Structure 1
Amino acid sequence: MANLPLAGVRVIDMTVVLAGPYCAMMLADMGAEVILVESTQHFPPQTRGINARPTRDMLRNRGGGYPDGDPGKRPWNRWAHFNVMGRNKHSMTVDITRPEGMEIFKRLVSVSDVLVENYAADVMDKLGVTYEMLKRQKPDIIFAKLSGWGDTSKYRNFRAMAQSIDVMLGHSFLRGYPDMDQTEVTTSVAEDPALGVQAAFAIVAALHHRNRTGKGQVLDLCLAEGFMPYMPQAFMDYSMNGRLQGTLGNRDPVAAPCGVYRCLGDDKWVSIMVNGDEEWKGFCRAVAEDWTKDERFGNPLSRQRHQDELDKLVGIWTSRHEGYEVMYLLQKQGVAAGPLLDEAAVYADPQLNARGFWVEESQEDSGTHLYPGFMWKMSKTPPVVRRGPVRMGEDNEYVYRKVLGIGDAEYEKLVETGHIGIDYAPHIK
């Protein structure tokens, strides 16, 4: 661990759901000591589960999420959505809504470098966790605030999930089909992991700045602004030309053919995207069909205008081949293509396995499973799984005694008063 890039950096993790936990995990993967601050008195929905203690009836209507479909004795430690972003972290419990809990929290701040949170802005305000308070405990602390719409202006206190941001940014509209009602467009949470990556980068940059200047700062990031770079064409077209793009489905404003086409097998599909004349020539060599010489498909603009006819012909060709076969035929000619895979096929994909992407992680309550691994490979400081998905309160002894220096009497009192624990309070269902 000493060789990892962020070794020696301590991060307070006050994150929920997806964007924040993903950011914190990446910092932990880079060697930071990430301490997740939790409370036995409060259950954050969609973080350690939909409910703290779900019944079988609840699970019947809500799909998977637990190993073998069983929530077990401590469901919050078995929830896959949390565990997939829970590795390499520590967890402590304290109720900061009570004065003695806030004092414990302040002591933790005084020996930490970064605090990252992604609640709605007014939640931190109500708790009294402000930059001014944090600076009084640690003048050079870095405070990363992740939210739906940012820490200023009209939408500051709005509750936001990626789905609502997706709609308000127009992303769900662009993903729709001309003949499809918007109610049929599936939800997307792509904004969340995107912001997680951006926040981790911003925190590393702020740490670099602090190393040079000795000064901390506030980082204000949001889902809405963070996702704009993922769909620049539509916004720049409107900005420069006053033109609304409209729904595209699987098509592209420039490339043609571009789409997902049926291939050999039951409900098997392949994605193909051809950019420009050079790739079109490669596509024609791979397909080796007379229709590729049709003058309607002779240049990019004409291919765009005749996409319906082109898609039908491409679909007839792909239907005679398996998805991977199409991929290899086209990739050999420099054309982007790949089969549509389900979860089982993704786990079995030879490329991901050859690169060692899947990593084995173990945890006492949830067992041992393959998890998505690291986003980067580093030749000198490769990330490793140092510990599996963290259980709630797993590191209370370490944090309270070693990090904060709390003695036996105070520790036992905090246990008795419900600050320290590994189970949610009985009233939390």
Structure 2
Amino acid sequence: MPGKIIVWTSNYLIYTNRFSKQHLKRTRDDDKTMTLCESPDEKASPVKVTAYRKAIDNLENDRKWLSDSAIGKRIGLYKLSGELGKGNFSQVKTGFHELTKERVAIKILDKTKLTAKAKKMLSREISVMESIHHQNIIRLFEVIETYTKYYLVMEHAAAGELFKKLITEGKMHESEAKTIFAQLVLAVQHLHDRSIVHRDIKAENVFLSSRGVAKLGDFGFSIKVSSDEKLETFCGSPPYAAPELFLDQRYVGRPVDVWSLGVLLFFMTTATMPFLGESMASLRQSILSGKIITPTWMTQPLENLIVSMLNTSSSDRLRIDQVLKSEWLKEASAYQNRFNNNAVYGHWCAFPSTSSVDVTDIELNARRALEALGISKVMLDEHGPRGSRSNIVATYRIVVHRLLQQRRLMGQPTTMSVNKPKKTKSRLCAIT
């Protein structure tokens, strides 16, 4: 009569047929699997507990994980760490993904403090970030919702906000500013080509990686519009706002982004704002006048670009493609375009491919890595439609993101060092 074999794992007990206890022999194969066998010669096949399965079980049963979750030190598969920033309705913390050990940024929003308008903005932000995928735009990995909070798990930029860099180090040398600004313009072009306007471009919403890659983030005010559609909501930070926003008139979205980029470029290269004011009324008057004073040391190509981007007439303002072709920027933008070449560095695939024909080499490597973690093709196919609401899709996105970063890092040439002028303390408008 066949014996009864019991297989122990860290969380599961599997029973087969009957067998008396005195014939059982316990062996330990590894830290993750324990097997009770009939005899040394007739061992049962051990049941492996994958890294994914173990993590999910820890979420439900592990005392330490449950305790950390209760006191706000963990959410889902992420261990929370220090604070990166704080806003009116949210705070951003560093997180570490349990399976990949990838560092992420987690935006936490308190539901009880969100107005109806803020909830609409959040929904729009998630929708836009799900639809756009670009090397110079912060990527969304996962959205977790609890009874009291929303958690947006995003790509982490190790060097932090461009704003903090400017106020601590002062103005950038033109060559450094050109490299960063070209990336931002390409990001905005990517948005405009997809009928999306950002409407809140400013130094605080630009993030830098440790390798000098610039990332545009915070899409709470972004909106999808047709080319000639008029908008009427005043959005963004007043010092970066275009003149048409102060005229209580309907406006076209794309020129507003170009204006904000012009203000940002001036700030990056001078450590001060082009339009200043001690009150909203004086700031409004300064912006409507359109008068800017460029320093004598600024090169002519840079001055020409800034003046053309800060044209008070939205119809005469440069378009984003014209900014890329400007004398000051065209060389840097051409390089960044090559660096962002998906054919060379691989495509960002936010959703697992459903057809084997569409699978890229990056995705193939990602799938192998996921298999090792215990996430199979069947699981990916099942969870794919859930997008950012699935921790399986989130793990997939994090692995793909890491592979793309590694490939680009290998192909990125060493940048030449330049002699930077003495830094000057930044001078900002009193209105923020």
Shorter-chain TM-score category?
A: under 0.3
Query: What is the TM-score when the length of structure 2 is the normalising length?
Result: 0.22
Q: Which has the higher contact order (CA 8 A, sep 6+)?
A: 1
* TM-score, normalised via structure 1 length: 0.22
